[in-house]
Structure 1
Amino acid sequence: MGFSYLFGPVPSRRLGVSLGIDLVPLKTCSYNCVYCECGKTTELTTGRKEYFPTEDIIRELDEYLVTGPDLDFITFAGSGEPTLHTGIGEIARHIREHYPAYRMALLTNGSLFFDPQVRREVADIHVVIPSLDAVSEQVFRRIDRPCRELSVDAIIDGLVALKQEHPGEVWLEIFVVPGVNDTDGELALFADVIRRIGPDLVQLNGLDRPGIAAWVHAPTEAEMTRFRDRIGYPATEIVRSPTTRTDIPSFSQDTLESILLIIRRRPSTVEDLSKTCGLHPNEIRKYTDALAAKGLIAERFEERGVFFVAV
């Protein structure tokens, strides 16, 4: 695509064909989650600022959206926590006003909604999808490894306020880490807190791609079902991996073959491939998913991260 802040469209497990907007540098976040597919957080912060020029992001959106692409969502996501960017509200308003046919989604760790300003800034986004991976402080710090000043109680209060104030939908995502946040005690706390928040939907997610910590493994179907049944919230769904898609508009067979040739010559991480190919990491994953589905590459854990190797 040749853009600096847009990526995709990419296939999303939950949002269909999604055009991504990346608002912060890799990897700028208020968490350093053990399961994060983007890798280790290099700037752990709750400091909000204009990480990239808002007007440049809007200019790229205009250039792309004026062509009328077929999209299910425009999604604020990417290399870190999108709500750290102080221009998110202005960008969302621009899309609402100039491209009303498109629905927007925000993938966020939910850590900053205790701030009323952040809640106001996301009001134009149709679907806000915050994470809540734990409800006890100990489990929260083990899984999400947040900035020191953050507390899970304040985050929960912010999510309660978000649901009360937001004019659109709020889908609560819980990343299931077997043996950590699915104990009897944590599940009982989850059940109470979810009722307090009252989200439109609860989505249970699990490991789909390798994260930071090798000890995190994908939950079984039985573990996911138990989690769902124990929280007892009617509007709960288990997110399952779809069949890998190669029919989305930005998919290139030439790029697929080039990435395979690179991996055959030298095992590479997503970040390595991103730098070599000049593509966003989320776009790289679109191709590595397709290659893995064909049995042409596999993943190997090493000290520097997860490497793709030829099979």
Structure 2
Amino acid sequence: MVMKYVKGVVLSRRLGRSLGINLLPDLICSEDCIYCECGTTRNLTLERKEYAPTDQVISELDRFLKKRPVADYITFSGLGEPTLHSGIGKIIDYLKDNYADYKIALLTNSSLLHKAEVRAEIKRLDLIVPSLDAGTEKTFKKICRPAEGLTLQLILDGIEAVSNEFNGEIRLEILFLKGVNDSDREVNELVDKIKDFKIDKVDINTLNRAPAVSGYKPVSKERLIKISEKIPFKTEIYI
């Protein structure tokens, strides 16, 4: 069966057996992160619209899930920011109404979580994994290269709002780059921003594949352990 929007089931380091949903098949994103393993963003935007036909995505999911595949999560991820897709809420509702025995996860760069309508659309998820890679605007812009109008404060506002409203699990994801956001000063700034969030866990990552921009290096496991000791939440390190 040839699938355009549904990928897997694949083994994920963090989510186990994951069935992926790619709603943005052409590198459409609100950020152009220097570390992205998918490559350079082709369409840098904050505009929400139906980038892939919602009904076709649902049809693919229906055909695949009727076979009852073994999966720990159905995961919105793919080649861009999933919440840019205006039909994500409809897809989540369809899955919850028809395949409630599957858990649903969202990997998000957090860029649209400050919008109440986005939070309403994703409220039925089981797991949200929002990312945050910096505690200062300067470092945020260096790492994430956001679309015009997107600021670190909007990212922080969105994650805080989700942490206050969401009933499922929240795992904050932070990716560290050597010499960019791994110094004590950078880590302290970041910890200060997240210390009051209501989250379940922090996933700590570093580069493990070639980044979109060459020249950047992973942080050592020893340094990541030191960083994890500063974070006031349960942490897990992924190398």
Quickly name the TM-score band, shorter chain normalised.
over 0.9
Map Cα deviations across residues 272-299 of structure 1 (whole Å, 9 max, x no partner): xxxxxxxxxxxxxxxxxxxxxxxxxxxx
Aligned counterpart, 2:235? 236
Residues 197-276 of structure 1 aligned to structure 2 (within 5 Å) = 197-231=197-231, 233-240=232-239
The alignment status of 1:15 with 2:15, answered yes or no, reads: yes
Deviation at 1:142, TM superposition (A): 0.5
Deviations 1:230-255 (A, max 9, x none): 23x23111124xxxxxxxxxxxxxxx
Partners of 1:228 and 1:26 lie apart in 2 by 35
Which amino acid is 2:238 matched to?
V
Aligned residue number for residue 80 of structure 1: 80
Whose helix proportion is higher, 1 or 2? Answer: 1
Which runs of structure 1 show a deviation greater than 6 angstroms over 4 or more consecutive aligned residues? Answer: none
Cα deviation digits, residues 23-76 of structure 1 (max 9, x gap) = 012210000001101000000000000111111111111100011111111000
One-letter amino acid of the structure 1 residue matched with residue 85 of structure 2 = H
TM-score (norm: length of structure 1): 0.75
Indicate whether 1:104 and 2:110 are aligned. no
Contact 1:178-1:223 at 8 Å conserved across structures: no
Distance in 2, matches of 1:217 and 1:99, equals 41
Gaps of at least 5 residues in structure 1 are 241-311
TM-score, scaled to structure 2: 0.97
Q: Whole-Å Cα distance in 2 between the matches of residues 196 and 154 of structure 1?
A: 16
1:244 corresponds to which residue? Answer: none
Confirm or deny that 1:68 pairs with 2:77: no
Question: CA offset at residue 131 of structure 1?
Answer: 0.4
Amino acid at match of 2:233: P
Where do 1:107-256 residues align within 5 Å? Answer: 107-231=107-231, 233-240=232-239
RMSD over equivalenced CA pairs, Å? 1.0
Residue correspondences, number: 239
Q: CA deviation at 1:198?
A: 2.5
**Counterpart in the other structure of 1:2:** 2
Q: Which has the larger radius of gyration?
A: 1
Q: Percent of aligned pairs with the same residue?
A: 43
Which residue matches 1:41?
A: 41
Give the aligned residue type for 2:56: D
Inter-partner Cα distance in structure 1 for 2:63 and 2:155: 36
Q: CA deviation at 1:3?
A: 1.0
Aligned-pair distance for 1:167?
Answer: 1.4
